[in-house]
Amino acid sequence: MIMDVKENIIRKHFQDLQAKYPAMKLSQNVFGNWVVRGELCASAKFENVEIKIEDVKIELILSAMYPETHPVVRETTGLTKEFHTNTDGTLCLGTPLAVRVTYMRHPTLVGFVEGSVIPFFFAFNYLAKYGELPFGELSHGGKGLLEYYQELFDISSGEQVLGLLRILAESDYRGHLPCPCGSHATLRQCHGEILREISTLQSTDDFFMDYYSVYKLLSELNVTISQEFLIKRRIAKKHQK
Ligand SMILES: [Zn+2]
């Protein structure tokens, strides 16, 4: 019964995808995973630059957890081999959290293709045509993470980003306390919603790693970090030395 419900969801999501991208086909692989394959033809626009995406063959592999988790995607002709592609041929669409956040806002095949796959090929084609990336070069490591969270939280202070990440890393959500972003509102009335949304998308250990990368970067930049924004057990001591 559960299988039927799942299959119906997948077929429905696939129909919606095929209506927009008719060259896509749905099948099941030998492991029983649903796979969507075919040529992706689309046109995408960013800051008045329109780029056609064609001759791109992709494969979306849906795990048993679909639609709770997004598919993985491969480009099957080797076109993007040198560009943000993992060694197993799956595309590196962005940091795992960023891809999940985008996907969870529209957890369907269309949502995934339009939210993450098309922007990936848009960037790839844009780079080939203009010699630079359209959305700015995404920095790696702590700097990339900091920029990502600054945008997600819509705050510029690295220290305040850290204050919000601390709550996620320590699973220490207390809605009545003041929001670390400095708005003077309570967490519940301020960044509480976005924190609750993303807290389910990766583990506290993953958030700790993000916290640590940003912390390290800010320390290198000699940013003083308030006591209340420090991870209590693991970093606070180190910081006081
Ligand atoms: Zn806030």
207 CA distance to ligand 1 middle (Å): 18
- CA 182–ligand 1 middle distance (angstroms): 6
CA of 211 to the centre of ligand 1 (A): 17
Q: Taking a C-beta distance cutoff of 8 angstroms, is the pair 119, 112 a contact?
A: no
DSSP code of 157?
A: -
The domain over range 2-130 is classified in CATH as 1.10.1660 = no
Instruction: Give me ligand 1 centre to Cα 185, in Å.
Output: 7
CA of 181 to the centre of ligand 1 (A): 4
pLDDT in tens, 105-154: 999 999 999 999 999 999 999 988 888 887 765 566 788 889 999 999 99
Give the distance (Å) from ligand 1 centre to CA of residue 183.
6
159 CA distance to ligand 1 middle (Å): 13
Which two structure tokens, joined as six digits, stand for 9? 């969801």
Describe the strand order of the beta sheet including 24-28 as a list of residue ranges. Answer: 24-28, 34-46, 49-62, 72-75
Distance 64 CA to ligand 1 centre (A): 36
State the distance from the centre of ligand 1 to the C-alpha of 180, rounded, in angstroms. Answer: 6
Reported as a pLDDT band with limits 50, 70 and 90, residue 2 is low
Spacing, Cα 186 to ligand 1 middle (Å): 8
Facing residues of 56 across strands? 40
Q: Which of 126, 148, 112 is nearest to 48 (CA)?
A: 126
Residues of the chain with CATH 3.10.110: 2-130
What the block records as the tokens of 240 is 């006081």
Say how many Å lie between the CA of residue 175 and the centre of ligand 1: 11
Q: How confident is the model at residue 55 (pLDDT cuts 50, 70, 90)?
A: confident
- Using one digit for the tens of pLDDT, what is the confidence trace for 155-211? 999 999 999 999 999 999 999 999 999 999 999 999 999 999 999 999 999 999 999
Backbone angles phi, psi at 58, to 5 degrees: -125, 165
